[in-house]
Chains A and B, each alone.
Chain A
Amino acid sequence: GSVGMPTGAYIPPKTVWLPAMKAKGLEISGTFARRAGVIQMELTITNKAMSVMSDFAIQFNRNSFGLAPAGPLQILTPLGPNQTIEASLPLSTVGPVMKMEPLNNLQVAVKNNIDVFYFSCQYPISMLFVEDGKMDRQVFLATWKDIPNEHESQFQIKDCHLNSDAASNKLQGSNIFTIAKRTVEGQDMLYQSIKLTNGIWVLAELRVQAGNPTYTDLEVSLKCRAPEVSQCVFQSLEAVLKN
């Protein structure tokens, strides 16, 4: 996207989650997306076996944010040998919760007429950033002050050629909202908020060399009452800024 325009939420490229050789010819690659507030698992399913596949179904193990299929996996026609089909599975966040390691890990079971197969994948936590995540400015200041220093995590993003406005626009496309911007001694400091689907708020401070997109390092500080999410949030923030 061009500088100054919102660019939409970041969607990672599809990767192979279940190789055919581990699943009697069934190959699944996929990614996760948030489109207009709806979380989706987007799948490419290929039949690399010599017989027809049918009767597909999917189930998730309990996971950190209660992700669960919001409906059945819709593959309405049998899949012939060498045939590929794209499927979109809308997800809800009201399923059973169990803390996973890493936090964004998802264990999946897929069944067809041949057998049941299992795989793990990791979702970008940014798909859980909700559209109403812009915190009130007064609440932000109070919350920032209130969260103890031990719950602050610091990170660095290297080789990021964005000025603060471009960074702010890009992040807003993924529901990371800028609340205030200040320039201090040649550095732009962006104060930002994120709200996860389970109601956890993350506060961010981004430092960018003012007016200098060739400067390549960004400093990120994250404050959260549930600091175990900070690492995952940072990974998503970095992916959004670099893509």
Chain B
Amino acid sequence: ELEDGLDEAFSRLAESRNNP
């Protein structure tokens, strides 16, 4: 569950960096 959370967090980071 923690792994899923981290995977999601990296996706959110990448998205936010692409569309600040």
Contacts and interface: CB of A to CB of B under 8 A. Distances in A.
Q: Determine the interface band of chain B, counting residues with CB < 8 A from chain A.
A: 10 to 19
B1 interface: no
A5 interface: no
A141 B10 contact: yes
A182 B10 contact: yes
B3 to A, nearest CB: 9
B13 A141 contact: yes
A189 B7 CA distance: 14
B18 A191 contact: no
Nearest to A138: B6
A217 to B, nearest CB: 16
Interface string A123-150: 0000000000000011001001000000
Contacts of A182: 10-11, 13-14
A141 B10 CA distance: 7
Nearest to A182: B14
A205 B7 CA distance: 16
A241 to B, nearest CB: 20
A180 B10 contact: yes
Q: Determine the interface band of chain A, counting residues with CB < 8 A from chain B.
A: 10 to 19
Nearest to A145: B13
Interface string B5-20: 0110111011101100
A182 B17 CA distance: 11
B19 to A, nearest CB: 8
A153 to B, nearest CB: 15
Given A137-B6, A138-B6, A144 B18 contact: no
A191 B16 CA distance: 14
B13 A187 contact: no
A137 B17 contact: no
A144 B6 contact: no
A184 interface: yes
Contacts of B10: 137, 141, 180, 182, 191
Contacts of B18: 184-185, 187, 189
Given A184-B15, A189-B18, 9 more contacts: A137-B10, A138-B2, A138-B6, A141-B10, A180-B10, A182-B10, A182-B14, A184-B14, A191-B14
Interface of B: 2, 6-7, 9-11, 13-15, 17-18
